[in-house]
Structure 1
Amino acid sequence: MSDANLIEKTGGCQCGHVRYRVRLANEEAYLCHCRMCQRATGGFAASFFNVPQAQLIWESGPDWYQSSAIARRPFCRACGTPLGFQYVEGPNCDLTVGSLDDPQGMRPTSHFGIEHLIHEDWLDTHNLPKNRLDEYQPLLDRWAMAGIETP
């Protein structure tokens, strides 16, 4: 694939200390349900997209946590945001979908580590009630009391 066909995206941590740019061949992502990813993110799964190291530029680099003998994980030491996963000896890095500035367009294409899926109900949530944070008055009141416009 030529560089002209690559999709450029940017991302980083919650506080802005860590920033990156990536060039992607597609907008495919996956959910990892392994126990290490559950614990590293605090979620039922980690949502990742895979990128070759050559297509990833850390504009302001992360810190790294050696999470096992075979892998390490980038994160922000200032705010704690988990940013991904990388094999110690590997040409690629998996970055968290949620760390993208604009994750729109990213789509899940597979599940990994499914033997650790907490419950099937976590895979199909389309019937659950959906609430907007900009319509939840207790939250809006807290932002207003802090003197900050709702992000």
Structure 2
Amino acid sequence: MRGPRARFPAARLRGALLVLGGSDGLAELDSVDALEAGGGAWRARKRLPGARVHAAAAGAGPGQGEGQGEGEGALYVVGGWAAGHHLRRVDRYSPDTDEWTEAPPLITGHYMIHSLSIQSVTFLIFQVERSPALEFLLKLFSTDGLSI
């Protein structure tokens, strides 16, 4: 990575490893770094629309694997924590344009989210807030469309 970073999500998209947001220990970050397939140096990608920590990130669509064609695949960054608030925000990154667009938000804000993609379905695992016991709620979206 191009600098110190903690509490960040990471995801693979078109063979590249992307690390997004997080914290440098002093402030929440909006930076995005990518390590292309085959190694080499980390390089900057378009910054997130807002700084956040403890978000989830997942590649979606056929382009999440290696060797996929242009125009395929996207990356979603979901929820997180910023300025003392749980985030509802969901952002979609297009590697073709190096741009972010806002996707439909979560129903409620969540942070400390984890993601797992299996074929065309991405599972998002949330800690249930305000619960005395450690509980988890499983939500999912398919790569055909965001349906959180």
Q: TM-score range by the shorter chain?
A: under 0.3
Considering only CA atoms, is the larger Rg found in Structure 1 or Structure 2? 1
| Between structures 1 and 2, the one with greater helix share | 1
More strand by share: 2
TM-score norm. by structure 2 comes to 0.25
TM-score w.r.t. structure 1 length? 0.25
